Chains A and B, each alone.
Chain A
Amino acid sequence: MSKNYYLGVFDNEHDVVGATRITRESGYDIHDVYTPYAVHGLPEAMGVKSSRLTWVCLMFALLGFSVALSAQFWIAGVDWPVNVGGKPFNSLPAYLPVMFECIILFGGLGVLFTLFVRTKLFPGKKELTIHPDVTDHRFVLAVEQRDVAFDTAAITMLWEQYHVLEIKQLSEA
C-alpha cells in the first residue's frame, strides 16, 4: 500500500518547532521531522517519548558486570588457581578493575548496536532523502496523509503562519 506524505520545508528551528506543535495539536499525524541537527524541544513538540535505550544500556552493563565477575572467579579460583604471593584465590578487590572496564565496554557497545538495530542504521543503507538540503540547512516536517478527508488547504494555512518556504507532496511505494 502506498503512503502519501505532505511535506513542509522550513528555514529554521524556531519555526519548525512551532509548526510541529500546532500541527500535532490540530490533530494531524506527524510522520517525522527531518533536521540538520538535534533540535532542542522538537521531540517534545512531536510527542515523541524519551528513549528507553538507557535501560538497554543498564542491562548490557549488568551483563558485563556478571560476565567479568563470574569469569574471573572461575578462571582464577576454580579452573586453575595460581598461588601469587600467598594471596587468596578469590580476591574480589583485585577483580574490580577488570569488572569496571567490562561494565563500560559491554554497556557502551551494547547500547550502540541496539541503537543501530532500532533506528535501522547500517553501512551501505539506501535511504530516501526527503529533501536534498535536510542535512544542510532545511527543516522538513512530514505529515502522513491517511485518508481523502485530509484538508490540505487548512494545513497550508497553518504552516504559513510559521513561514513555511515550500510545500510538497510525496508518495512512497
Chain B
Amino acid sequence: MSSLMSVLRKPIVEGDKSLSDVSTDVITPLERKPTKLWWIAFLCSATVLIIGVIAVVYQFKMGIGTWGLNKTIGWGFDITNFVFWIGIGHAGTLISAILFLLRQKWRTAINRSAEAMTLFAVMCAGVFPLIHMGRPWLFFFITPYPNFRGPLWINFRSPLVWDFFAISTYFTISLVFWYLGLIPDMATLRDKAKSKIKKWIYGIMSFGWNGSTRTWNRYETVYMLLAALATPLVLSVHSIVSMDFATSVIPGWHTTIFPPYFVAGAIFSGFAMVLTLMIIARKVMNYTEYITVDHIEKMCKVIIVTSGIVGIAYATEMFMAWYSVNEYERFTFINRAMGPYAWAYWTMVTCNVFVSQLFWFKKLRRTVWFVFVISIFINIGMWFERFVIIVTSLHRDFLPSSWAMYSPTIIEIATLAGTFGLFFTAFLLFARFVPFIAISEVKSVLSYGKHTQEWPKSQQIAEQKRKAVAEEVGN
C-alpha cells in the first residue's frame, strides 16, 4: 500500500484509528453493562425461543401428526424452514472463506459476526430434520456404526444420508474456522481484562496465545487452508441439499439446474440476512466506523449478482418445462405460476428478482434504511422460494383425485418462530460475550504504521527494490 494508493482508495476503517483504538472500541461494549435495548431484544427473542421449545417438546411427544401434512404433501413447512436456514448460513462462509481467498480486505470488519450467524443458522436448520425423523431420540441411526441390527448399515445411495454428512461437516468446519480466528482476540481480551475471573476464562480460551511470529506464520497457513476447504464445502452443502429434491422423479424437482440454483439462492438470502443483522448491530453497538456504508454497498452488489442468477434460474426452469415437451413438467410450472399457490410464486418472484433490482442505483445502495427494508423483502422472498419449490411440486400429483392443499398448523408456525428466537438469542449473547469484530484482522488492514517513519537511507532503497520485484512477481 503506497501513499499514493491511499489517496485513490478509501480506507476500509473510517476515523483514522490507531492499533489500541481498535482493541478498545471492540472490547468496551463487552465490558460495560448491557444496555436497556439489549435487554428488551434479549427478553423478546428468549420468549419466542421458549415458545418454540414448547412446540418442539409437544411434537416430540405427539409425533409429526401435529403438522398440516397429508398423503399428497409429505414435505411442507419443516423442510422449507430447513432449506431456508441452511441457505442463510451460506453468506457467513462466503464472507469468511471465499472473500478471504479473493483477498477482499473489507471482509475483516464483518467476517466474525457473519460466521457466528452461519453457526446459529445451521443450528436452527438442524432442528427441523431432527423433528422430521419422527423418533428424534434415535437420530444416531443415521451414522454408520457397527450395531446389533444386522449390522444394518445406512444407505449411502440416499441423498438424505449425504445431507447428514454435508451438514455435520459444514457445522464442524465452520465452528473450528470461527474459533481459530477468535484465538488471537481472546489473547487480547486476556491481556486487557481487569478482573481475575475474566483473565482466567479468557486465558483458557486463548490457548496460551502469545503473538509469536513463528506461530502466526503457521496460523496463517492453517487459516488459509481452512478457507480453501470451506469454499468447496459451502458449495457442496447446498448442492447436496438440492439433491434431496433433484434425485427424485417429481416434476418440478427433477431438474439438473438445482445445485447451482440453490447455491446462488443461498448466498442471495444469506447476504440479505447479513445486511439485516449488520444494519441493526452497527448502530446499536456503535460500530459505524468499522461496518461502513461502503461495506453495505459492497454487499448490495453481491445481492444484485446473485439475484440475477436466481432470476435466470427461474426463467430457465420455465423454459425447460416448455422445451422438454413433457406434459407433467409443463403442468407443474403452469400450476406454479397460475394455480392456487400463484400468490406464493409471485411473492417469490417480486421479492427476489424485481425488488432487488433497485440496488442498481448507487444512491439507494448507500441509503441504509432503504437497504434494510429491501433485505427484509429478500428474506421473505427466499423463504417463499423454498415453500414454492416444495409445496407446489407436490400438491397436484399425477392422480387428480389425490390433489390437495397444504397449510401449516399453529405448531409448525410456532416451531419456525422458535428458530428465529434461537437465532436472535444466540446472536445477542454472541454480541455480549465475544468480540463482534475480528480485532487482529482489522488491525492488519489499518493504514496505521505502514510507511509512517523514515528508515536509514540504504535500507529504504533496498526495500523499494524488494517491493518492485514482489510487484512484478505478482505477490
Q: Which residues of A contact B (CB under 8 A)?
A: 11-15, 18, 21-22, 32-40, 42-43, 46, 48, 50-51, 53-54, 57, 71-72, 75-76, 79-80, 82, 84, 87, 91, 94-95, 97-98, 100-102, 104-105, 107-109, 111-112, 115-116, 118-130, 132-137, 161-163
Contacts and interface: CB of A to CB of B under 8 A. Distances in A.
Given A51-B221, A98-B156, A130-B210, A37 B441 contact: yes
Interface of B: 18-20, 23, 144, 150-157, 159, 161-162, 165-166, 169, 172-173, 176-177, 180, 183-184, 187-188, 190-192, 203-205, 207-222, 225-226, 229-230, 232-233, 236, 240, 243, 440-441, 443-444, 448-453, 455-456, 459, 463
Contact of B156 (A35, A53, A76, A134): A76
Nearest to A120: B208
Given A13-B450, A57-B222, 7 more contacts: A12-B19, A37-B443, A46-B213, A53-B218, A79-B153, A105-B173, A127-B209
Q: What are the nearest 4 A-B pairs in CB distance?
A: A12-B449, A125-B208, A137-B19, A127-B208
| Interface SS of B by simple majority | helix
B156 to A, nearest CB: 5
A76 B153 contact: yes
Nearest to B221: A51
Contacts of B452: 12, 14
Given A18-B455, A80-B150, A136-B192, A35 B222 contact: no
A129 B463 contact: no
A34 B450 CA distance: 17
A145 to B, nearest CB: 18
Given A97-B165, A123-B204, A91 B157 contact: yes
A24 B307 CA distance: 53
Nearest to B453: A163
A61 to B, nearest CB: 8
Given A101-B236, A108-B176, A135-B191, A94 B211 contact: no
Interface centre among B18, B177, B226 (most CB of A within 10 A): B226
A21 B213 CA distance: 14
Given A80-B153, A121-B215, A162-B455, A38 B229 contact: no
A94 to B, nearest CB: 4
Nearest to B205: A123
